């Protein structure tokens, strides 16, 4: 009976989900996850990233990601019947880039099964550290690229996003400017996703439109590199990038290294994608109308879109969806990161955190802009936490934080133009019902918890099953593929409270004034807060 393997290389960990999809047996048969810090401490990462004096520079080790992949494939051999795995697909943190030199082709093609992979690929990198999505050090390059392509609107219309510091194009440009000789010695630039797929296939894998749209380099609708953006970014970039290929592309069979070293079958490899496009599938968002809010290291709001809207929001992104359609996404860097900081500062456990939310009335904590780290939405390069309307520390801080995060998500995802009636909540913080209650009231939407804990890895496994069925001449719909895996927990439904939603509609305007003030773009919000308190007796 065929099995399908989905891998997810995230910021902090590597996860594998193995599923079976035959007839009524539609289930996850195995899950394995380990954190980079714990499993591979010799790389010296902290929460998956390398230390830097400048908080805007965030990198990780591509060799570590490779070693993690090898470790995982070996562990799976001991835990599942890997000979039954018919197809493999993967997901990875988006935007991060891997720089390879001329030795890479031969090393990839000639991996000897008698030695660990890591020893054989040490020499293939033209850059030892990979910039990742948490990096915000390329403001200058964003400006240069934007000007060279004819402005923000031109870049956003063509690629789905205005220039963002973490996007791969600005990162490549910075590398070219700072280390021109190393850039010249680079023969291939991969995303984390296509790099890991290359290790499995033994040759350079393509980039799929889902992950390619996180680069400021791809023509979103044509699904190929946009020559104007390539020219604006760095010389001879076209020759260094892998081709763009549809997400369901079969990129070959698992290389002999994996078959001989661990006993895998010659499984079909499907093009990897980014974690957000994979999570779209893993949360069952294969048609328009529903949205997911994922609360992990970062918080993200996303949903499928049949067409690519012109995105003039300046905040969100339009990415390719692995179904061939599109997805809208807005990312907040200070997600769980901020919740953890506040909880730690108050010396509370998660239970006390929830109790504090349950005990405090809506809008009683004021507004908090929790920019502990440089923020993506709205763009904030110098970190700083701002508090308005209720400066006292204590349980009200938690209410201020959680409400402000939900208000920011509602405001900054409205550009997608989707009437949100149902939200699927996922990620670690989605286990907290009190947070979900605030979400339901702020959005005025029904909120369901998703049982799926590893939506990106599950999405990758479902993509493997979908592509395999299609390649075998058993065409199947996305709806059929996700059935039985992604249904929300019916009993978890939280309905919005009408009165509280009305109150939050006004509190939302106060939030907007506070945010504009914190960004140095508007007046102090005292008057607006006083008016709100009068009107709502809050």
**Pick from 5, 8, 11, 98: which binds ligand XUL (CB under 6 A)?**
11
Q: Where are the alpha helices (DSSP H) in 369-497?
A: 395-412, 433-443, 455-471, 478-482
223-228: Cβ within 8 A, 24+ apart: 223/320, 226/158, 226/159, 228/149, 228/150, 228/158
Name the residue nearer to ligand XUL (CB basis): 166 or 500.
Answer: 166
402 DSSP 8-state letter: H
Name the residue nearer to ligand XUL (CB basis): 133 or 175.
Answer: 133
Angle, CA of 103, 106 and 109, to the nearest 5°: 140
Does 449 bind ligand XUL (CB under 6 A)? Our answer is no
Enumerate residues 259-288 that contact ligand XUL by CB under 6 A: 274-276
Identify which of 361, 331, 383, 418 has the alpha carbon closest to the alpha carbon of residue 518.
383
Does 97 bind ligand XUL (CB under 6 A)? Our answer is no
Does 313 bind ligand XUL (CB under 6 A)? Our answer is no
Does 206 bind ligand XUL (CB under 6 A)? Our answer is no
CB of 211 to ligand XUL, least distance (A): 9
Does 360 bind ligand XUL (CB under 6 A)? Our answer is no
Does 331 bind ligand XUL (CB under 6 A)? Our answer is yes
Tell me the CB-side half-sphere exposure of residue 503, using CA atoms within 13 A: 19
Gap between the Cα atoms of 292 and 127, Å rounded: 36
CB of 194 to ligand XUL, least distance (A): 14
Gap between the Cα atoms of 10 and 16, Å rounded: 11
Name the residue nearer to ligand XUL (CB basis): 125 or 164.
Answer: 164
Judge contact between 439 and 447, C-beta under 8 A.
Answer: yes
Does 387 bind ligand XUL (CB under 6 A)? Our answer is no
Name the residue nearer to ligand XUL (CB basis): 211 or 441.
Answer: 211
**Pick from 300, 390, 404, 449: which binds ligand XUL (CB under 6 A)?**
300
Name the residue nearer to ligand XUL (CB basis): 85 or 458.
Answer: 458
Identify which of 182, 98, 100, 175 has the alpha carbon closest to the alpha carbon of residue 137.
175
Angle, CA of 96, 101 and 106, to the nearest 5°: 115
Map residue 386 onto helix, strand or coil: strand
Contact track, ligand XUL, 42-81, x by CB under 6 A:
----------------------------------------
Does 93 bind ligand XUL (CB under 6 A)? Our answer is yes
Name the residue nearer to ligand XUL (CB basis): 144 or 299.
Answer: 299
Does 166 bind ligand XUL (CB under 6 A)? Our answer is yes
Does 328 bind ligand XUL (CB under 6 A)? Our answer is no
How many chain residues touch ligand XUL (CB under 6 A)? 14
CB of 94 to ligand XUL, least distance (A): 3
Residues β-bridged to residue 92: 9, 274
Map residue 173 onto helix, strand or coil: helix
Which residues of the chain form contacts with ligand XUL (CB under 6 A)? Answer: 10-11, 93-95, 133, 166, 214, 274-276, 298, 300, 331
């Amino acid at each position: 009976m065929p099995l399908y393997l989905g891998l997810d290389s995230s910021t902090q960990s590597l996860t594998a989900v193995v599923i079976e999809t035959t007839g009524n047996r539609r289930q996850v048969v195995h899950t394995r996850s380990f954190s980079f810090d714990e499993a591979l401490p010799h790389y010296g990462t902290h929460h998956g990233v390398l230390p830097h004096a400048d908080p805007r520079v965030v990198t990780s080790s591509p060799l570590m990601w490779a070693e993690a992949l090898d470790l995982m494939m070996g562990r799976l051999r001991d835990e599942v019947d890997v000979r039954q795995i018919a197809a493999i697909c993967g997901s990875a943190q988006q935007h991060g880039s891997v720089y390879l030199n001329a030795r890479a082709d031969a090393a990839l093609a000639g991996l000897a099964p008698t030695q660990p992979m890591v020893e054989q690929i040490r020499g293939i990198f033209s850059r030892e550290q990979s910039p990742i999505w948490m990096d915000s050090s390329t403001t200058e390059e964003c400006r240069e690229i934007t000007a060279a392509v004819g402005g923000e609107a031109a870049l956003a219309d063509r690629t789905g996003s205005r220039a963002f510091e973490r996007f791969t194009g600005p990162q490549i440009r910075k590398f070219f400017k700072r280390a021109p000789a190393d850039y010249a010695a680079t023969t291939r630039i991969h995303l984390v996703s296509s790099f890991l797929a290359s290790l499995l296939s033994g040759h350079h894998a393509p980039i799929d439109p889902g992950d390619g749209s996180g680069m400021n380099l791809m023509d979103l609708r044509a699904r190929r590199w946009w020559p104007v953006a390539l020219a604006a970014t760095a010389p001879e970039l076209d020759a260094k990038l892998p081709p763009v290929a549809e997400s369901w592309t079969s990129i070959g069979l698992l290389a002999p290294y994996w078959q001989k070293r661990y006993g895998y079958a010659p499984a079909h490899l499907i093009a990897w994608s980014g974690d957000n496009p994979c999570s779209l599938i893993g949360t069952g968002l294969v048609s328009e109308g529903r949205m997911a809010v994922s609360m992990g290291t970062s918080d993200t709001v996303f949903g499928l879109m049949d067409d690519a809207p012109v995105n003039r929001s300046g905040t969100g992104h339009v990415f390719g969806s692995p179904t061939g359609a599109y997805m809208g996404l807005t990312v907040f860097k200070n997600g769980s990161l901020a919740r953890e900081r506040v909880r730690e500062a108050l010396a509370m456990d998660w239970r006390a955190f929830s109790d504090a939310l349950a005990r405090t009335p809506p809008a009683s904590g004021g507004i908090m802009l929790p920019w502990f780290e440089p923020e993506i939405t709205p763009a904030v390069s110098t970190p700083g936490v701002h508090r308005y309307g209720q400066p006292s520390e204590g349980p009200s801080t938690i209410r201020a934080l959680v409400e402000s995060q939900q208000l920011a998500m509602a405001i900054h995802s409205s550009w997608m133009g989707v009437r949100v009636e149902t939200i699927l909540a996922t990620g670690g913080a989605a286990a907290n019902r009190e947070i979900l209650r605030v979400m339901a009231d702020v959005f005025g939407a029904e909120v369901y918890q998703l049982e799926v804990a590893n939506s990106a890895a599950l999405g990758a496994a479902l993509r493997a099953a979908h592509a395999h069925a299609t390649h075998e001449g058993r065409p199947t719909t996305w709806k059929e593929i996700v059935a039985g895996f992604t249904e929300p927990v019916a009993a978890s439904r939280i309905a919005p409270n009408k009165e509280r939603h009305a109150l939050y509609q006004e509190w939302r305007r106060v939030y907007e004034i506070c945010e504009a003030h914190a960004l140095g773009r508007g007046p102090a919000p005292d008057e607006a807060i006083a008016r709100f308190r009068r009107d709502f007796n809050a």
